[in-house]
Amino acid sequence: MTKFFLTLHVLAAILAVGPVTVAASMFPAALRRAQADPRDVSALASLRLLQRICSVYAFVGIAVPLTGLVTAQSLGVLGSAWLIASIILTMAAAVVLIVLVLPRQEAALAAVAGAGQGGEGAGGQLAEGAGTVAVGERTSSQLAMYTGIFNLLWATVTVLMIIRPGSTTGA
């Protein structure tokens, strides 16, 4: 049963986290293109698609830690330091995605769509909890930075999952 859970966990990681990392990484460049010409229908469509991929797969990504916990329990490694570190890094990645990346993507998309329809454009804002996310010239740079942090966190978790300090695989 352990191999089944491990297979589900790896598949969930590849199929859920992979698309988010790629789409989120592509979003800042697509945003710069759309900001350069707000009336460019294909640039706006690209932004919508990338944001939709990030939102949907972020939700699907819940399967990764769930299957990971089941796998860890079946392997008897729930108290291992490498697993605890992976759990903390996974939670940090989720926070970066949910609090920093997705709201800025939504705000940027709304601002560019508004500019394309003659709205206020780069001055757009979107409510984010108690504050707002302002969309401006630095938004694509901020998104690139936050996405890089998200990707770095997931890369670190992946390395920890492969190396597993103290494992019996000889690594």
**DSSP assignments along 82-142, one per residue:** HHHHHHHHHHHHHHIIIIIIHHHHHHHHHHHHHHHTTS-GGG-EEEETTEEEE-STTHHHH
Where is pLDDT greater, at 130 or 58?
58
Cα–Cα distance list, 118 to 33, 94, 111 (Å): 17, 35, 10
Distance CA 116, CA 37 (A): 8
Give residue 170's pLDDT. Answer: 46
* 100, two tokens: 């920093």
**pLDDT tens-digit readout, 92-121:** 999 999 999 999 999 999 999 887 666 554
CA dist., res. 115 & res. 123, Å (int):
9
pLDDT score of 117: 67
More confident residue, 128 or 165: 165
Average confidence (pLDDT) over 72-76: 90
* Helix, coil or strand: residue 29: helix
Q: Which two tokens stand for residue 70?
A: 């089941």
> Both ends of the chain: CA-CA distance in Å?
23
CA distance 162 to 171: 8
Q: What is the mean pLDDT of the chain?
A: 87
Residue 137 has pLDDT above 80, yes or no: no
**pLDDT band per the 50, 70, 90 thresholds, residue 136:** confident
Indicate if the pLDDT at residue 76 is higher than 70: yes
Predicted local distance difference test score (pLDDT) of residue 1:
86
